[in-house]
A and B are shown apart, each in its own frame.
Chain A
Amino acid sequence: MNIFSSLGIAIKALRAHKARTFLASLGILIGIASVIIMVAIGKGSQQEVMDVIAGMGENLITVNAGEMKRRGGRLRLTGNVTTLTVRDANRIMDEIGEVERVAPFEQKSMTAKFGNNSAETTIAGSTIDFPIVRDYKLKSGDVFSERDVKTANRVAVIGMTAVKNLFGEEDPLGQVIKVHFMPYKIIGVFEPKGVDTNGLDQDDLVLIPLSTYMRRIANQTFITRIFVKASSRKNIAKASKKIHELLRENHKLTDDRNDDFTLVSQLDIEEMKKETTEMFTKLIVGVAGISLLVGGIGILAVMLISVKERTREIGIRRAVGATRKDIVRQFLYESLIIGFLGGGLGVALGVGLTLGLTHWGNWTLILDLNSIWVASWACAGIGVLFGVFPAIKASKLDPMVALTTE
């Protein structure tokens, strides 16, 4: 007996029991669809995280003053360190070839006032390279100039959240705000950037020249952060290493003394976030496995019932010449078809929902072809795995016993 007649028999049997066939494949359908959607969600959120990381500045290395310790999954600065300076930043820029730009940085949460409005915001001081290093784009106006920095002018470039809080709908360009009783002229507005990897609003910002900040706001010589842009992604690691060596030397740290600064590069953050996504991936695989198992049990149950119900049919087929193998094949094909039917509909549903949610919903989902591929094979596997047992059971009966089974 050839494959096509076995297949034909299997298809006929399944068509004769449409409802049962559909119910049997439902488990697989839901399992496969949820796997595809969940993988798409996982990939999407991973992409979102990577976008945020990249959005903080391409090839970014952050030098933080003080030692950073991991506490509760987040990096926190310890102690009050006063050793990081603008001179460090300048040496990094001048002496390390893999560094494209640097932006020494200091910030403080303060109240800014415009007319009768006042708002708590972040006042930050940095150099003209800050927008480039941190990938801030201008919406209107200009960034302050080299001259503004040199002469410590009271000019500011402002983020959209601060604009909203202080100016509402009014155009902030050319207006003057007051911080700590001193007036600052708004000369530029940044495009909105959204949140950073720690969930902090990057648009709640009033950026002024670092020199102005040091003189008018902080009255100090040290800084807490230097943003460094490496010349390429490939050079991030090398640049980090060189910055590390340079700072240790510059801070006169002998061999046995701990660093008084911490380097966090884009790669480090990606690595950290990867751990989270990997955990999520494991979770997906687990849930997927369980749902496919449930789907398989569905097939198993239906096939067991089907075999039992059709014991007499098996007896008849055996009596007129069907071999055990023919019977096993017939039932195996039935469960395979159920598996593929569920799988096919599941893939269709999963892909449909994924595309739909991306198109109409406000979701970032990324369809993963691999997951579809794996899911399809899983269907076949489940079909065989859970169909083979009832099939073999069916074929083992003596024809006479099968014929006289009630």
Chain B
Amino acid sequence: MNLIEMNSICKSYRNIGFETKVLKDVTLHIKEGDYVGIIGPSGAGKSTLMAIMGCLAQPTSGEYILDGEQVGKLNDRKLSRVRNEKIGFVFQAFHLLPGVSALENVTLPLVYAKNPPGNIKERARELLAKVGLEHRLHHTPGQLSGGEQQRVTIARSLISDPRIILADEPTGNLDSKNGIETMKTFDSLVKEGKTIILITHDQEVAQHAGRIISILDGQIASDSEVNHEAQTRSL
């Protein structure tokens, strides 16, 4: 069964005087446990596609079925629960709460959880340790470097143990060592059965995925499985 099913999704922004068509008739099916890389030039519509996948924005037209549910028909409470429980976001622009410690930023999703676990602080600490930030628990975003903020964001996306992780350029600000660590984290998450959708400019990063979709000017230009065996042989 498809976890994510997008049929003929269009998205346009209407501003005063002009209309920008960002997504044009995108049809895309992703199975549970898939590891999908999305590549494409800047401005192609990758982040917009991710916003729609994550129920942060509604498509202008088309049908989006997430985990068997028509997203367009969900009310605000249900949509919020989907975002809270099923999806972890790693935003390109981090989007951390300013003035709030890394630890509290990581626990934020659980503030809105219906059944939050008991050991919230402990879990957040573990996750921050996992991304190499055990020494920065009480720093606020302003006191963290870009890469450190990005890693806080990754920790936050994992706190509610979501089935889907939507990561927009998760390694964009990281040095190669931390980048590799992050990718290792994702690889192990896939092994746990999570579905990961990863937006990246980096071909090497994209190669971690099992399937690469390239977006060009709001449309899917190519969609191919990655043959890891062939890859390893060619190296």
Q: What residue of chain A has the Cβ atom nearest to residue B82's Cβ?
A: A321
Asked whether A319 and B89 contact (CB < 8 A) given A398-B56, A398-B57, the answer is yes
Q: Which of A116-124, A129-137, A178-186, A308-316 lines the interface with chain B? A: A308-316
Contact residues in A for B160 (Cβ distance below 8 Å): 321
Query: Shortest beta-carbon distance, A12 to chain B, in Å?
Result: 8
| A316 near B95: Cβ-Cβ < 8 Å | yes
Picked from B56, B89, B91, B112, the residue with its CB within 8 Å of the CB of A1 is B112
| A324 near B95: Cβ-Cβ < 8 Å | no
**Residue B58 at the chain A interface, CB threshold 8 Å:** yes
- Among A315, A318, A321, chain B packs the most CB atoms within 10 A around the CB of A321
CA–CA, A334 and B54, complex, Å: 29
Q: What residue of chain B has the Cβ atom nearest to residue A402's Cβ?
A: B56
**Residue A323 at the chain B interface, CB threshold 8 Å:** yes
| A321 near B81: Cβ-Cβ < 8 Å | yes
Contact residues in A for B57 (Cβ distance below 8 Å): 398-401
* Proximity bits, B65-108, A CB within 8 Å = 1, else 0: 00000000000110011011100010101011111000000001
Contact residues in B for A321 (Cβ distance below 8 Å): 80-81, 83-85, 109, 112-113, 160
| B97 near A316: Cβ-Cβ < 8 Å | yes
| B95 near A398: Cβ-Cβ < 8 Å | no
Picked from B56, B95, B99, the residue with its CB within 8 Å of the CB of A16 is B99
Asked whether A320 and B84 contact (CB < 8 A) given A5-B111, A398-B56, the answer is yes
**Residue B51 at the chain A interface, CB threshold 8 Å:** yes
Query: Shortest beta-carbon distance, B141 to chain A, in Å?
Result: 11
Contact residues in B for A323 (Cβ distance below 8 Å): 76-77, 80, 112
- Pair count A-B, CB < 8 A: 67
* Proximity bits, A373-406, B CB within 8 Å = 1, else 0: 0000000000000000000000000111101000
Contact residues in A for B84 (Cβ distance below 8 Å): 320-321
Contact residues in B for A68 (Cβ distance below 8 Å): none
| B95 near A312: Cβ-Cβ < 8 Å | yes
**Residue A238 at the chain B interface, CB threshold 8 Å:** no
CA–CA, A400 and B76, complex, Å: 14
* Proximity bits, B142-163, A CB within 8 Å = 1, else 0: 0000000000000010001000
Asked whether A320 and B98 contact (CB < 8 A) given A399-B57, A401-B57, the answer is no
CA–CA, A320 and B91, complex, Å: 11
Picked from B56, B80, B93, the residue with its CB within 8 Å of the CB of A322 is B80
> Chain A at the B interface: mostly helix, strand, loop or mixed?
helix
Q: What residue of chain A has the Cβ atom nearest to residue B79's Cβ?
A: A323
Q: What residue of chain B has the Cβ atom nearest to residue A12's Cβ?
A: B100
| B83 near A319: Cβ-Cβ < 8 Å | yes
**Residue A326 at the chain B interface, CB threshold 8 Å:** yes
* Proximity bits, A98-117, B CB within 8 Å = 1, else 0: 00000000000000000000
**Residue A251 at the chain B interface, CB threshold 8 Å:** no
| B89 near A320: Cβ-Cβ < 8 Å | yes
Which residues 112-131 of B have a CB within 8 angstroms of A?
Answer: 112-113
| B80 near A403: Cβ-Cβ < 8 Å | no
Picked from A315, A322, A325, the residue with its CB within 8 Å of the CB of B95 is A315
CA–CA, A321 and B113, complex, Å: 7
| A319 near B56: Cβ-Cβ < 8 Å | yes
Which residues 49-67 of B have a CB within 8 angstroms of A?
Answer: 51, 54, 56-58
CA–CA, A326 and B95, complex, Å: 19
Contact residues in A for B91 (Cβ distance below 8 Å): 319, 403
Asked whether A400 and B77 contact (CB < 8 A) given A312-B95, A313-B98, the answer is no
Using CB atoms and an 8 Å cutoff, list the residues of chain B in contact with chain A.
Answer: 51, 54, 56-58, 76-77, 80-81, 83-85, 89, 91, 93, 95-99, 108-109, 111-113, 156, 160
Given contacts A319-B83, A320-B109, A326-B112, 7 further A-B contacts (CB under 8 A): A319-B56, A320-B83, A320-B84, A321-B83, A325-B77, A401-B57, A403-B91
Closest 8 CB pairs of A and B: A321-B84, A321-B112, A400-B57, A320-B109, A400-B56, A323-B80, A399-B56, A400-B51
22 A-B contacts (beta carbon < 8 Å)? A1-B112, A16-B99, A313-B97, A315-B95, A316-B108, A317-B108, A317-B112, A318-B56, A319-B54, A319-B89, A320-B89, A320-B109, A321-B113, A322-B112, A323-B76, A325-B76, A325-B77, A398-B57, A398-B58, A400-B56, A400-B57, A403-B56
